[in-house]
Amino acid sequence: MQLVENTNWPSMTRLILSASWQTAFHVHYNRLPVLLHCSHGWDRTSQVAALSQLLLDPHYRTREGFSTLVEKDFLSFGHPFHTRCGHGEGKNEQGGDEGQLSPIFIQFLDCIFQLVNQFPDYFEFNPRYLLLQSEHIYSWRFGTLLCDSEQEREVVAGIRQRTYCMWEYLDSIPDLINPVFDRATSEKAGDLLMPLL
């Protein structure tokens, strides 16, 4: 356990969840707008914005809603999957900067994993759904999480025309549905999820 703590991964997970909860709290209870912006605008910003919406809105806790959330807050806003994951680049090839590698999306999935474990009745998908996404970031089997921007995916690489969609694949696997999910309870609650940090 000490080895994991030494990576600072658990503390980063707590910080991201805490920032997300604070954001959602101010939106929900104080009815305040919140401006989010990390140094580049596409790492912590996407993580905190998406997690806050997940805490606030039960729609994003469904498979359809979750794919919409990722498409909106990571893909459309230009999260640099290629740069952060090092897709296809060896050490310093093509001007690659190793300092740009960072498991931002994996951290995001881990935060959701923590929420799914704390609130299993509130999520339509199970932890395996998240695990498969984490595997397919690096599998190159689907074009969904490739490239650094929407323009690069659509115009330069033509990814959607040349690859399969990860969301369609995940939706085709019935074992990824959470058997204890209760849509009525999730929607009726309508309140902010309050994770243990």
Residues catalogued as catalytic: 38
Q: What is the C-alpha separation between 53 and 98, in angstroms, rounded?
A: 31
Q: Token digits for 36?
A: 């989010």
Consecutive H or E run containing 188: helix 183-189
Q: Is the dihedral of CA 50, 151, 134, 8 positive or negative?
A: negative
Strand partners, 61: none
Coil, helix or strand for 182? Answer: coil
Q: What is the C-alpha separation between 73 and 71, in angstroms, rounded?
A: 6
User: C-alpha 97: how far from its chain's center?
Assistant: 23
Which residues, 6+ apart, have CB-to-CB distance to 34 below 8 Å? 23, 26, 27, 52
Q: Token digits for 189?
A: 């609650």
Q: What is the C-alpha separation between 93 and 113, in angstroms, rounded?
A: 34
